[in-house]
Structure 1
Amino acid sequence: MNQKTIQKLNLFFSGLVTRYAENEALFKEIRFSFKSGLKSFPGKVEARDGLRYHFKGAAETLGMKAILDRVLAEAPAYDSLKLIYEERGSVMEIEADDRDVRVKNREITAEPAKLPETSPLLNRTYLINHQKARALLTELDILTQDGKLRNDKIRKYSQIDHYVEILQKDLEKFRNAKHTVHVVDCGCGKSYLSFVLNYYMTEVMKIKTTFTGIDISEKVIETSRQMADRLGYRNMTFIQGDIRTLTTRQRPDIVMSLHACDTATDLALNFGIRNKADLIIAVPCCHAEMNRKFSYEPFESMLKHGILKRRLADVLTDGVRCLLLEQEGYDTTIMEYISPLETPKNLMIRASRTGRRSDRAEAEILNLILKLNYAPALYRYLNDLDDPSDETFAEHESE
């Protein structure tokens, strides 16, 4: 290739170095091929323990600038170059020869998934598109390796897609963020929803994100790490530890918790409030603590029936959580996440930070505590009234 082409390549490669520095966590690989006459000389760069540069049978670990400098230094000896720079969700193609340098950007699409004729998916548009998100849905075992939708996972697919649908407007608020949005999944388990949100925010909404999953179980943390590695989701970190004592290097913008048992949901809410997260999402599971400990004399004749006391404890627990979030400056809603016919664990608490504390909510909380003769877990955690170490931060169920 002539000197004019080399100079143009140098300019485009400078842009790639900048792009990589800004989107390092999204980088997947570079594939390139030089041509001389009829012969091709392929090479590649993969993200594995740094960047590994492969060419002419040799492999080195180098920085992105050094790698592209190597490619540029090889270019004069060949007739042409085709280089493909791939990130999650997009590809840049550079073709160079003595005539010119041509650049093309395109979105990545997958082969269509094979759906059963009876599938309800045929009559619905899904945000987590089964074609574009094929690698993700295969990893989550919703699609088979050959792209067929598993009949026993249609409900799971619908649930995770509906989760994203519910949060879509909340996520829009982060689209123009000038910083990398940090999402923390408390009691992450197998991290299904973190993976789904990562895909949607990163590849569909084009929001620069990092995800941190925290769980007490090293086993599920290792499983999540392996899944992230297979998917190439390099913007995810998984930590084995206890949310009561762990801190993250970056302030969380979004804190989420799915089916954390009993007071583990309160610990997740407390984590979000203490860190002033802009959005807190929780789908609670079990409300055993309130059921064991509250009493209310006017209802004693009814609460002798265990099932009624349990149901009232459920309502009181989530109602108090919403009031405490309002007290701490959050605009809070509670809604049915999915049909109660599918699971009784079907309520979602969504809280958006306003920064305006509510004196009304605080007065109502104190009044309830006096009447119930009991201070709920989230109230105690927020006010450091007892040591949360006597509670067990339970793992999520494996979903």
Structure 2
Amino acid sequence: MNKQSISKVNLFLIGLKSRLEENLDIFKNITVVYKTGLKNFKGIGTYDSDKIKFNFNGKTESLSMDGLTTKLCDTAVNYDSMILTYSERGTDILIEADNKNVKMKNIDIKEEETISNSINETSTLLNRNYYIKVGKADKLLKEIGVMTKEGKVKNYKIRKYNQIDHYVELFDEMLNDIPRNKVINILDCGCGKSYLSFVLNYYLTEVKKIKCHFIGLDYKESVIETSRKMAENLGYKNMEFHEIDVKDYIPKNKIGIVMSLHACDTATDMALALGIKLDSDAIIAVPCCHRELLSQYSYEPFKSILKHGVFKSRMADILTDGMRSLLLEAKGYDVSVVEYISPLETPKNIMIRALKNKDENEDLMAEYFNLMSSLNVYPALYGFLNE
């Protein structure tokens, strides 16, 4: 290749250096194919310990990005043309160069628009436009156990796949109202095996092109180790996991979103309290069992109704989530409560979504205190907030 073309390639590579520094967590690799006549010569570079490990012609070198740029340009002198691909999660940047032209373009990785036959035959959402699409998201779906190695969604996992995708849909509805700082830090409280964090990481990074960082908390060492291994397998470097009690966690950076999925009983309250204390921009919770207020509350006007255990239990569920929602509103959050999935699948199907958009409301706090007094309850959420 001539000097003029190589100089243009060098300028493009300087731009990629800045991009690498900004997007290191989602960088995958750099590949280059040099051509002479009908022969191709391929090199590949991967990030390793602050260096690019570059393999070409059977030799591997550890280079800085500046060093790699020099290497790529010096090597191009010996060939007729080159095609360089800079790969990030969800995006490829292509540089094509020969003695006549040098051009660079972004390529979004194509999605397969059709859903697997196994879904079309059995899913209750036949016409659903999935947010997490079969095809592009296969590696993720296989890692979380929803898809077989052959690329088919498992029949007994279709319901889970639909639930996960609907969660993403409800999450997506909030995105426009969440401040777009440089990076959105998302805290998953009681993360378990972190399936939803992995799915949201994929969606935000590779579909929406939003910079994000996920932090998973759980007190079980086994699930934390599993999550770390899955993140490694997927190449999701923008994730960290900690074996710690939620109420003991102190973040290093501003937390944009706190989420909690099916955290048992007052574990949901711990997550909500942490989100409020951290002044997070958004809080999302799908509560699980509701045991706390059932043994506390009493209301004389309803005495003849609440003598039936099933009514008392259902009312406890409503009171628990209702008072959670009211306290979030009192703390300056705009709250919406929706059915996450059909009640035919599970009665524990409520999702609480809260967006911080105002200061604390003293009138609502007074209303909350009046309810505490009238019902003779002391909710865990209020207790955690005042520890």
Tell me if both proteins adopt one fold, taking TM over 0.5 as the criterion: yes
8 A Cα contact 1:113 1:134, kept in partner: no
Q: Which runs of 5 or more residues in structure 2 are unaligned?
A: none
**1:19-71 CA distance string (max 9 Å, x none):** 11121111111111223444433211123554422223233443333322222
Change (3 A) 1:12 1:272: same
8 A Cα contact 1:212 1:237, kept in partner: yes
Q: Which residue of 2 aligns with 1:158?
A: 162
8 A Cα contact 2:115 2:133, kept in partner: no
Show the 5 A alignment for 1:1-16: 1-16=1-16
**1:102-144 CA distance string (max 9 Å, x none):** 2232111256663235133542211222222222222222221
Of 107, 114, 117, 2:116 maps to 114
Q: Which residue of 2 aligns with 1:177?
A: 180
What is the letter of the counterpart of residue 108 of structure 1?
I
* Distance in 1 separating the partners of 2:348 and 2:272: 17
Q: Which moved more, 1:123-132 or 1:277-286?
A: 123-132
Q: Give the superposition deviation at 1:9.
A: 0.8
Change (3 A) 1:113 1:138: farther
Q: Give the superposition deviation at 1:313.
A: 1.5
8 A Cα contact 2:228 2:240, kept in partner: yes
Q: Which residue of 1 aligns with 2:43?
A: 43
* Secondary structure in 2 matching 1:368: helix
Please say if 1:209 is aligned against 2:212. Answer: yes
* Secondary structure in 2 matching 1:357: coil
The TM-score with structure 2 as length reference comes to 0.93
**1:241-298 CA distance string (max 9 Å, x none):** 1111111221111111000011110010011111111110000011112223333344
**1:209-231 CA distance string (max 9 Å, x none):** 11111111121112112222222
8 A Cα contact 1:113 1:147, kept in partner: no
* Distance in 2 separating the partners of 1:241 and 1:63: 36
8 A Cα contact 2:297 2:377, kept in partner: yes
**1:328-372 CA distance string (max 9 Å, x none):** 111112121111110122001111101321222111111122122
Q: CA RMSD in A?
A: 2.0
Q: Which residue of 2 aligns with 1:70?
A: 71
Q: Which residue of 2 aligns with 1:136?
A: 140
Identity across aligned pairs (percent)?
Answer: 50
Please say if 1:25 is aligned against 2:29. Answer: no
Q: Which residue of 2 aligns with 1:397?
A: none
Show the 5 A alignment for 1:233-272: 233-272=236-275
Q: Which runs of 5 or more residues in structure 1 are unaligned?
A: 385-399
Q: Which moved more, 1:327-336 or 1:108-117?
A: 108-117
* Distance in 1 separating the partners of 2:128 and 2:336: 27
Please say if 1:355 is aligned against 2:358. Answer: yes
Q: Which residue of 2 aligns with 1:390?
A: none
* Distance in 2 separating the partners of 1:217 and 1:73: 52
* Distance in 2 separating the partners of 1:230 and 1:338: 30
The TM-score with structure 1 as length reference comes to 0.90
8 A Cα contact 2:328 2:354, kept in partner: yes
Q: Give the superposition deviation at 1:178.
A: 4.2
* Secondary structure in 2 matching 1:77: coil
* Secondary structure in 2 matching 1:233: coil
Q: Which moved more, 1:146-155 or 1:133-142?
A: 133-142
* Distance in 1 separating the partners of 2:134 and 2:225: 26
Q: How many corresponding residue pairs?
A: 383
* Secondary structure in 1 matching 2:32: strand
* Distance in 2 separating the partners of 1:61 and 1:237: 26
What is the letter of the counterpart of residue 341 of structure 2?
I
* Secondary structure in 1 matching 2:275: helix
Q: Which residue of 1 aligns with 2:230?
A: 227
* Distance in 1 separating the partners of 2:221 and 2:384: 25
Q: Which moved more, 1:268-277 or 1:354-363?
A: 354-363
8 A Cα contact 1:255 1:277, kept in partner: yes
8 A Cα contact 1:110 1:134, kept in partner: no
Q: Which residue of 2 aligns with 1:101?
A: 102
8 A Cα contact 2:185 2:212, kept in partner: yes
* Distance in 2 separating the partners of 1:113 and 1:369: 50
* Distance in 2 separating the partners of 1:370 and 1:277: 29
Q: Which residue of 2 aligns with 1:388?
A: none
* Secondary structure in 2 matching 1:244: helix
Change (3 A) 1:103 1:287: same
Show the 5 A alignment for 1:82-97: 82-97=83-98
What is the letter of the counterpart of residue 27 of structure 1?
F
* Distance in 2 separating the partners of 1:105 and 1:138: 27
